[in-house]
Amino acid sequence: MSDDLPVADCPLAPPGGDAALPAGMVRRGDGIFFDAAQPAPVLLAAVGQVFQSNAYFAGLDYAVFTRALYNCGAPLPAASRGAPLIRFAAAIVPFDPLRRALYKLVKIQRGVAEYYFEAQFFEALELPDGSKVAPRPTKLDFDEFVADMWAKGVRFGIDAAAVQAIIDSGKVERIVVARRLEAAPGRDATVVEVSPDMHRDDAPREMADGRLDLLTFKNRFPQVKKHARLLKKLPSAPGLPGYELSGQSVQPPAPREVELAPLAGEGTLVERVRGDEYLVAVHDGFVNVDAASGAISIGAKIVSRDGVSSRTTGNLKLRAEYEEFGEVQEQRTVDGSDITVHGDVFGHLHSHGGTITLLKNLIGGTALNAHGDIVVKGVASGSVLQTSDGGMRVERAENCIISGTRIVVGHASNCEIIGDEVVVGVAEGCAIAGRSVQIDSAGPRKQTEMLVYALVPDMARMTRKMAELGVRAQGYARAVAKLQQEIDQVSEQLDVRNYLLLANKVRKQELVLLPEQVPLFHKMALTVAPALKTISKLSMEMKFMETQQAQMLEQAAEVERQKQATAAESRCAVRALSGDIVVRTSVFNPESGRVYDKPPRDIKARLRGGASGADIIFAGHSGSLDWTYRLVPA
């Protein structure tokens, strides 16, 4: 405060005691204090009473003053933190009217207060004795400035350092003396990943020999363990209020909330641990994220929506069920089990089991299944489809090589098809081979002929087997005749024949021996005993030979039945011919494995190559065909 003029005592500052101070404010010998137990509105009211009573705070610590009233700005001094009283000024002194007149209007616009500082003079005064005091220069005072600004509506945000500096410098200048404080927005609630296993690793896969496979990513489809924590909810945090120059608070916008429950898909649940919320895996499995809702599910099946390309996944080598909603691009390979693709496939699919299901088209690619079916619900064009042990179902095929156990094609054009059982709706310009071939309509396509092959098994092995069994049966028959001859020779001896005749009658009770005849009968038995032993041995050998002979004959009959049944499996039926067609037999060796389980090049060469040695079953351009292979009687 300036000492240029004497001042009267302040009504709020009696010489002793605190009686005149408003509630929330305390005067002690070492200064003026706020009662920290009082809320901010009480302290603001107390400050307002002081300023309205034409007084101000001398020795004001504006930073502490602001912190106590508005809880913003610099933190309180260490000595005041947690203390019941907070010192913010040295004294309360009266604000002399002559000095108040020194303070001019302040310009307030858009939350900014500007003040024009200039040289200050007291006006000339006339003393009681009639003499006059000339105008005298003076300076503004920061503590008075705060009190004057409060009365003019600037109750917050004064830049104490800037105001004090320009007052000390005496410069004539307009400066910004106060600014409003904008509200600080809070932190929105968010969800963060907490499991490192959820992250994909698109680094090149390292092969067993240490080289890098640049076409395959290291871990495109993350897999997690049971009870793994996948996501964590970070709760929202409120913002900090701002203040207008008037001291009115400006509340920040409420932070946005987020819930984990909508993100909990199949195989996951929300778990609360010590106040924190986590999304947890219920069981082991692959991480799948729904593109629309963001829900996370854990399952045994891999689900991809990005397609298979060099940019997204690279080549895939999987050991789990795989479902792809995008496309499989050219030169990309998917190696796994039970593969389903919703988009078009231009690359290569290789399944070790389950079913390959293509909901759209296979164009210029391959679909191979070691142990399972292949289903193409769209068009297969310029592709290879093979299953070593499974069925094949294709809606439409063009320029394809198709092989499998049972093949069903709705419309085939210029294809090579081979299998145990082949069923085609419409065949145009195809080469088709099978043990059982059934075609609704067949004919050539442009310059490509229509060929059908009925696969006929080579019966030479069975024929040789039957001949071998017959020879062995004859050998056993000759052995039986020889043994019977030897038995007859022994039995024709006089003593032996008499004993056997007598023994037979005794056994049948046609003759009853007298007591004196029994010793003679036993003596006769002892005499012929060596011959009887020889007959018994020869009889046992003959029985064995007869059994072997019967077995050889039964085996020969069984081979004959198998031969007839195998032959009957070869059949061909064409319900309607729409042009020239040639149907031939094609002999194959059943012992050489599945006739259709061959490389595509070999299949094409066999079906489109020469037909030397094949018998023509039918050649014509109209009518129908229903043929079954019949064995020629030997």
Whether 12 is covered by a domain: the verdict is: no
What are the CB-based long-range contacts (under 8 Å, 24+) for 267-275? 267/297, 267/298, 267/299, 268/230, 268/296, 268/297, 268/298, 271/229
Q: Which of 261, 285, 309 is the last residue of a domain?
A: 285
Nearest to 434 by CA among 339, 545, 573: 573
462 and 564 share one domain: yes
490 and 468 share one domain: yes
Q: What is the mean pLDDT of residues 304-315?
A: 67
Asked if 230 and 198 touch (Cβ cutoff 8 Å), the reply is: yes
382 and 525 share one domain: no
Whether 184 is covered by a domain: the verdict is: no
Whether 16 is covered by a domain: the verdict is: no
Looking at per-residue confidence, does 495 or 260 come out higher?
A: 260
Q: DSSP string spanning 33-79?
A: EEETTS-HHHHHHHHHHHHHTTEEEET--HHHHHHHHHS-SSPPPTT
Query: How far does CA 211 lie from the centroid of its chain?
Result: 27
Whether 13 is covered by a domain: the verdict is: no
The residue behind tokens 């075609």 is 439
Distances (CA, A) of 267 to 197, 287, 288, 297: 16, 10, 10, 5
pTM of the complete model: 0.58
Compute the distance between CA of residue 284 and CA of residue 7 in angstroms, rounded to an integer.
Answer: 85
Q: What are phi and psi of 336, to 5 degrees?
A: -165, -145
pLDDT tens across 140-187, in order? Answer: 999 999 999 999 999 999 999 999 999 999 899 999 999 999 999 999
| Strand boundaries in 96-254, DSSP class E | 107-109, 112-117, 120-122, 125-126, 132-133, 136-138, 173-179, 190-193, 201-206, 212-219, 223-224, 229-234, 242-243, 249-250
Model confidence band, residue 132 (pLDDT cutoffs 50, 70, 90)? low
Query: How far does CA 517 lie from the centroid of its chain?
Result: 101
Alpha helices in 340-453 (DSSP H): none
Rama region for 533: left / alpha / beta (φ>0; ψ in -120 to 50; rest): alpha
Q: Which pair of tokens denotes residue 227?
A: 């009870």
Model confidence band, residue 10 (pLDDT cutoffs 50, 70, 90)? very low
Q: Which residues contact 482 (CB under 8 A, 6 or more apart)?
A: none
pLDDT of residue 198: 65
130 and 204 share one domain: no
Q: What are phi and psi of 164, to 5 degrees?
A: -65, -40
Looking at per-residue confidence, does 47 or 205 come out higher?
A: 47
280 and 324 share one domain: no
Evaluate if residue 19 carries a pLDDT over 60: no
Q: What are phi and psi of 200, to 5 degrees?
A: -75, 150
Evaluate if residue 583 carries a pLDDT over 70: yes
Model confidence band, residue 546 (pLDDT cutoffs 50, 70, 90)? confident
Whether 54 is covered by a domain: the verdict is: yes
pLDDT of residue 634: 52
377 and 321 share one domain: yes
pLDDT tens across 420-439, in order? Answer: 999 999 999 999 999 899 99
Nearest to 333 by CA among 253, 503, 216, 185: 216
What are the CB-based long-range contacts (under 8 Å, 24+) for 162-171? 163/115, 166/117, 167/117, 167/139, 167/140, 167/141, 167/142, 170/119, 170/139, 171/117
* Burial classification of residue 221, based on how many CB atoms lie within 10 Å of its CB (0-12 exposed, 13-18 middle, 19 or more buried): middle
153 and 194 share one domain: no
Compute the distance between CA of residue 281 and CA of residue 265 in angstroms, rounded to an integer.
Answer: 10
106 and 163 share one domain: yes
Q: Which pair of tokens denotes residue 95?
A: 């604000």
426 and 446 share one domain: yes
Q: Is 198 helix (H, G, I), strand (E, B) or coil?
A: helix
Asked if 266 and 297 touch (Cβ cutoff 8 Å), the reply is: yes
Whether 277 is covered by a domain: the verdict is: yes
Whether 155 is covered by a domain: the verdict is: yes
Query: How far does CA 177 lie from the centroid of its chain?
Result: 60
183-187, 290-294, 382-386, 452-456: segment of lowest average pLDDT: 290-294
Which structural domain, as residue segments, surrounds residue 593?
Answer: 406-634
Whether 556 is covered by a domain: the verdict is: yes
The residue behind tokens 């005993």 is 529
Compute the distance between CA of residue 299 and CA of residue 285 in angstroms, rounded to an integer.
Answer: 5
451 and 545 share one domain: yes
Q: What is the mean pLDDT of the chain?
A: 84
477 and 358 share one domain: no
pLDDT of residue 210: 57
pLDDT > 90: percent of the chain:
44
Q: Which of 160, 179, 198 is the last residue of a domain?
A: 179
Model confidence band, residue 32 (pLDDT cutoffs 50, 70, 90)? very high
Model confidence band, residue 595 (pLDDT cutoffs 50, 70, 90)? confident
Asked if 114 and 174 touch (Cβ cutoff 8 Å), the reply is: yes
Q: What is the mean pLDDT of residues 407-428?
A: 95
76 and 199 share one domain: no
Report the Cα–Cα distance between both ends of the chain, in Å, rounded: 139
pLDDT of residue 130: 63
Asked if 404 and 539 touch (Cβ cutoff 8 Å), the reply is: no
Asked if 559 and 466 touch (Cβ cutoff 8 Å), the reply is: yes
Asked if 298 and 266 touch (Cβ cutoff 8 Å), the reply is: yes
Number of domains in the chain: 4
Asked if 116 and 163 touch (Cβ cutoff 8 Å), the reply is: no
Q: Which of 363, 398, 433 is the last residue of a domain?
A: 398
Compute the distance between CA of residue 345 and CA of residue 361 in angstroms, rounded to an integer.
Answer: 6
CB-side exposure of 171: number of CA atoms within 13 Å?
10
Q: Which residues contact 397 (CB under 8 A, 6 or more apart)?
A: 376, 379, 380, 381, 385, 409, 411, 412, 413, 415, 417
